[in-house]
Amino acid sequence: MPPDNPNILFKRRVEDYFKNLQNVICTALETLDGKAKFSQDVWAHKESGGGKTRILQQGSIFEKAGVNFSAITSNLSPTLAARLGVDAQHIFATGISVILHPVSPMIPIAHMNIRYLELANGDGWFGGGADLTPCYLFDEDAKHFHQTLKYACDKFDPTFYPVFKQWCDEYFFIKHRGEARGIGGVFFDYLREDKEKTLLFVQELGNAFAHAYVPIAQQRKSEQWGQREKQWQFLRRGRYVEFNLVYDRGTLFGLETEGRAESILMSLPPEVHWRYNHQPEDGSREALLMKVLKQPRAWV
Amino acid sequence: MPPDNPNILFKRRVEDYFKNLQNVICTALETLDGKAKFSQDVWAHKESGGGKTRILQQGSIFEKAGVNFSAITSNLSPTLAARLGVDAQHIFATGISVILHPVSPMIPIAHMNIRYLELANGDGWFGGGADLTPCYLFDEDAKHFHQTLKYACDKFDPTFYPVFKQWCDEYFFIKHRGEARGIGGVFFDYLREDKEKTLLFVQELGNAFAHAYVPIAQQRKSEQWGQREKQWQFLRRGRYVEFNLVYDRGTLFGLETEGRAESILMSLPPEVHWRYNHQPEDGSREALLMKVLKQPRAWV
């Protein structure tokens, strides 16, 4: 790779940032957990590139936390090319994914992903976002999460947060259930313009994630919960699985480009229940959550 | 509906057979279980038609058994029409689905589905099949299951079993894991020719299902198992979920035509685990199963 090719330099800079962010986030999460540590698997893609998958299991805060970095080059299948609206060709994809499944049903599930894709013809774009999936709703947590992301967005463009918040509500929607996956956050895709500015923006967002999530987990770890709340969490995790396997672009992209299945599917929760036609009791905290998931709110 | 329209009569005859088969199978499964009974939900499709969903839960044999009948008319979306290789138009779809999740990891998960689809232009076809998903392999069970299905197939055409057995191995394949969902059975789709004969064949197959499965469950219910075996079942069920939500045509068809989510997703197991990068011990019974799933066998 000639160092004077500006395009190669850009994708390497993105990749380096994601690699470094993986370290930063893992450190923050280990500190928060206080008990378990991340273990790492380094893997190679069958075509070119690979990744580092880090998993923390059976912690005091996290039942399972995954932080995945990858940078691969793959041949786009015609199907996938059609879905991306481009010609079939080689594609470079680098990204970081964070998925947090806490032990306590009072601490929300969280997800963050930022990715950069670049075609052999030089066309490149960013996508990603961060969103929160509580099993029990605490308004102040939703506000804090959104406020932190909004702050990162506003530094770059006052239109980012409102546009990306709505995009998030639309994207993380489980169509067949008629409900949102969670209380949202931000989501964006195909950001092709002014890539230098966009890189600064995704860096801001990547750095903001731990600030958006850690205080919520610290605040909620002392909340009481029992069997009832844990059972509800198991059911809500079922919806998480449904979204990720039926709709999530990143998951389907990974599976279709024959990425490492264990790394792509690290997003799946450790224990999940499905109960036929379960309906929460009217007026319960569970029913309150469902109401909000069926009618997304403005949090800030 | 004019009773002298032969085409309408055919689809009603198919629908009536499926309705009746639901009763027959539910009776056989209740007798086998000996403890729990099916409860029924009757539902209406948002466009036209509907179904009857029967679920048995927390039985002595079955943790969850679902037997679903439906007959709907829906408008094909352009995406779905393209996948079926037809023009967008109204489609009539009737079918029966059976999905059995036993308590004991020694009793295999089983699935049967037969469906008939007919376009507004009169073009109609059958699809379906039956397959077995053991968590622990007993060769004689696999042989009995395949032999029973082969017998039903051979009555109609000696090429059916070999062709549909291979189709099943190819269809119930979890590409991203490089492994079959189970030890197969038969699968077919787009059977358009000689519909009268094909109806007789699917009736034979529908009637054979209980004979293929019940003796296996009766034989294995006395097998010992403990925590280790149950944990393995929870993990294997994870693969079942992955197949159904990522690849299964019936599931995706149901979700995309906005069928009743609870009925479509009754196939999902009651409790499922995902453990990062779990590998069974070399030489264990679990590893033996995985070997067979990676290399489908001829059972009869």
- Flag if A255 and B272 touch (Cβ within 8 Å): no
Distance from CA of A170 to the nearest CA of B (A): 17
Distance from CA of B236 to the nearest CA of A (A): 13
d(C-alpha B184, C-alpha A130), whole Å? 40
Distance from CA of B251 to the nearest CA of A (A): 10
Q: What is the pLDDT of residues A255-280, one digit of tens each?
A: 887 888 999 999 999 999 999 999 99
Q: What is the pLDDT of residues B97-139, one digit of tens each?
A: 999 999 999 999 999 999 999 998 889 999 999 999 999 999 9
Residue A271 at interface with chain B, using a CB cutoff of 8 Å: yes
Residue B266 at interface with chain A, using a CB cutoff of 8 Å: yes
Q: Is residue B74 part of a domain?
A: yes
Please give the residue of chain B at the shortest CA–CA distance from A279. Answer: B262
d(C-alpha A258, C-alpha A254), whole Å? 6
Domain count across chain B: 1
A-facing residues of B in 37-76 (CB < 8 A) are 41, 55, 57, 64, 66
pLDDT > 90: percent of chain A: 83
Alpha helix (H) residue ranges in A156-248: 160-171, 195-220, 227-246
- Flag if B266 and A276 touch (Cβ within 8 Å): yes
Residue B269 at interface with chain A, using a CB cutoff of 8 Å: yes
What confidence score (pLDDT) does residue B249 get?
85
Q: Is residue B299 part of a domain?
A: no
- Flag if A270 and B274 touch (Cβ within 8 Å): yes
Q: Phi then psi for A40, rounded to 5 degrees?
A: -125, 135
- Flag if B175 and A255 touch (Cβ within 8 Å): yes
Buried b (16+ CB within 10 A) or exposed e, B243-267: bbbbbbebbbbbbbbbbbbbbbbbb
Residues 6+ apart with CB under 8 A from A79: A256
Q: Which two tokens stand for residue B5?
A: 């329209």
Distance from CA of A267 to the nearest CA of B (A): 10
The terminus-to-terminus CA distance of chain A in angstroms comes to 46
What confidence score (pLDDT) does residue B7 get?
61
d(C-alpha B168, C-alpha B240), whole Å? 15
- Flag if A272 and B275 touch (Cβ within 8 Å): no
- B28: domain range? 6-294
Please give the average per-residue pLDDT across A228-245, as a whole number: 97
Residue A231 at interface with chain B, using a CB cutoff of 8 Å: no
A245 contacts in chain B (CB < 8 Å): 241-242, 245-246
The CATH number assigned to the domain holding B30 equals: 3.40.1500.10
* Nearest CB neighbour to B177, from listed A238, A261, A273: A261
Distance from CA of A175 to the nearest CA of B (A): 8
* pLDDT, greater one: B71 or A2: B71
- Flag if B238 and A268 touch (Cβ within 8 Å): yes
B241 contacts in chain A (CB < 8 Å): 241, 245, 272
B242 contacts in chain A (CB < 8 Å): 245, 265
Distance from CA of A234 to the nearest CA of B (A): 9
Cα angle at B41 between B268 and B59, to 5 degrees? 55
Residue A8, pLDDT above cutoff 70:
no
Q: Is residue A300 part of a domain?
A: no
A265 contacts in chain B (CB < 8 Å): 176, 242, 274
Residue B224 at interface with chain A, using a CB cutoff of 8 Å: no
d(C-alpha B140, C-alpha B154), whole Å? 20
Residue A3, pLDDT above cutoff 70:
no
* pTM reported for the whole predicted model: 0.93
B-facing residues of A in 171-210 (CB < 8 A) are 175-177
Buried b (16+ CB within 10 A) or exposed e, B67-99: bbbbbbbbebeeebbeebeeeeeebbbbbbbbb
- Flag if A276 and B245 touch (Cβ within 8 Å): no
What confidence score (pLDDT) does residue A2 get?
47
Residue A121, pLDDT above cutoff 90:
no
A vs B, Cβ pairs < 8 A, gives 75
What confidence score (pLDDT) does residue B6 get?
62
Q: What is the pLDDT of residues A179-231, one digit of tens each?
A: 999 999 999 999 999 999 999 999 999 999 999 999 999 999 999 999 999 99
Catalytic residue among A45, A90, A101, A111: A111
Residue A120 at interface with chain B, using a CB cutoff of 8 Å: no
Q: Is residue A42 part of a domain?
A: yes
d(C-alpha B235, C-alpha A299), whole Å? 38
What confidence score (pLDDT) does residue B74 get?
86
Check if A111 is active-site: yes
Residues 6+ apart with CB under 8 A from A148: A208, A211, A212
Q: Is residue B1 part of a domain?
A: no
Please give the average per-residue pLDDT across A44-63, as a whole number: 93
By the 8 A CB rule, do A190 and A125 touch?
yes
Q: Is residue B300 part of a domain?
A: no
| Chain A interface test: which of B57, B233, B277, B279 (most A C-beta within 10 Å) | B277
Residue A83 at interface with chain B, using a CB cutoff of 8 Å: no
| Chain B interface test: which of A100, A272, A290 (most B C-beta within 10 Å) | A272
* Nearest CB neighbour to B255, from listed A246, A270, A275: A246
What confidence score (pLDDT) does residue B2 get?
47
What confidence score (pLDDT) does residue A277 get?
94
Catalytic residue among B45, B111, B144, B146: B111
Residue B241 at interface with chain A, using a CB cutoff of 8 Å: yes
Per-residue pLDDT of chain B (300 residues; tens, 9 = 90+): 444 566 668 999 999 999 999 999 999 999 999 999 999 999 988 888 899 999 999 999 999 999 999 999 888 888 878 877 887 788 899 999 999 999 999 999 999 999 999 998 889 999 999 999 999 999 999 999 999 999 999 999 999 999 999 999 999 999 999 999 999 999 999 999 999 999 999 999 999 999 999 999 999 999 999 999 999 999 999 999 999 999 998 898 888 878 889 999 999 999 999 999 999 999 999 999 999 999 999 999
Q: Is residue A1 part of a domain?
A: no
Please give the average per-residue pLDDT across A43-58, as a whole number: 91
**Confidence class for position A6, pLDDT limits 50, 70, 90:** low
Cα angle at A186 between A180 and A187, to 5 degrees? 85
Distance from CA of B296 to the nearest CA of A (A): 21
* Nearest CB neighbour to A274, from listed B234, B270, B275: B270
**Which H or E element spans position B24?**
helix B6-33
Q: Is residue A143 part of a domain?
A: yes
Q: Phi then psi for A255, rounded to 5 degrees?
A: -65, -40
- Flag if A276 and B57 touch (Cβ within 8 Å): yes
Nearest to A174 by CA among A276, A236, A242: A242
